Amino acid sequence: MFQALKELLESIAPLHPTPSPAERARALQLAAAVLLVEVVRTKATLGEAERGVMESALRQQFALSDEELQALLDQATTTSRTAYDYQHFTSQLNEHFTQAEKIRLVEAMWQVAYADALPDENEMHTISKVAGLLHVTHGEYIGAKMRAKETSPH
């Protein structure tokens, strides 16, 4: 009887409503943006160079308008301040990104780190941790780092 009541209630108002495709896409965009912001979170301010690299990477991956991009980065910055781990974000990306998209994200993280100077220990640790959670192999990780370094202005 309890099971029948539970099924009836769930049919009326599901406990976990299925997100719309637009909501799912926005969640993936936010997850990627938060991980980019995390690279420089330990710095006092987000520099123009880093923000420019983030904008370029997100625009290339998601084809966002300028307004959507600014709103996404603002939300990512706010979300990053309250995030206590990367698992929430990487699990979404693992579920919906291809391996090539995950490698491009790691490369974009390296580009953010190289945007203003050589990466510091915190930036390198963050990228390494995220790459592991995204199941990016060591070879793919090093390749992404080298490509980012080659295109770095420094």
Closest residue by Cα to residue 32 from 120, 96, 124 = 96
- Please state the domain extents for the chain: 22-150
Round to whole Å and give the CA distance between 111 and 153.
Answer: 10
DSSP string, 43-59: SSS--HHHHHHHHHHHH
pLDDT tens for each residue of 3-16? 766 665 565 655 55
**Residue 57 in tokens:** 């990477």
Burial call 45-76: b when 16+ CB within 10 Å, e when fewer: eeeebbbebbbebbeebbebeeeebeebbebb
Residue 41 DSSP label: T
Global pTM value: 0.85
Backbone angles phi, psi at 114, to 5 degrees: -85, -5
Instruction: Specify the pLDDT at position 19.
Output: 74
Closest residue by Cα to residue 61 from 89, 36, 88, 87 = 36
pLDDT tens for each residue of 80-130? 999 889 999 999 999 999 999 999 999 999 999 999 888 999 999 999 999
Round to whole Å and give the CA distance between 58 and 7.
Answer: 41
Assess if CATH 1.10.3680.10 describes domain 22-150. yes
Instruction: Specify the pLDDT at position 1.
Output: 63
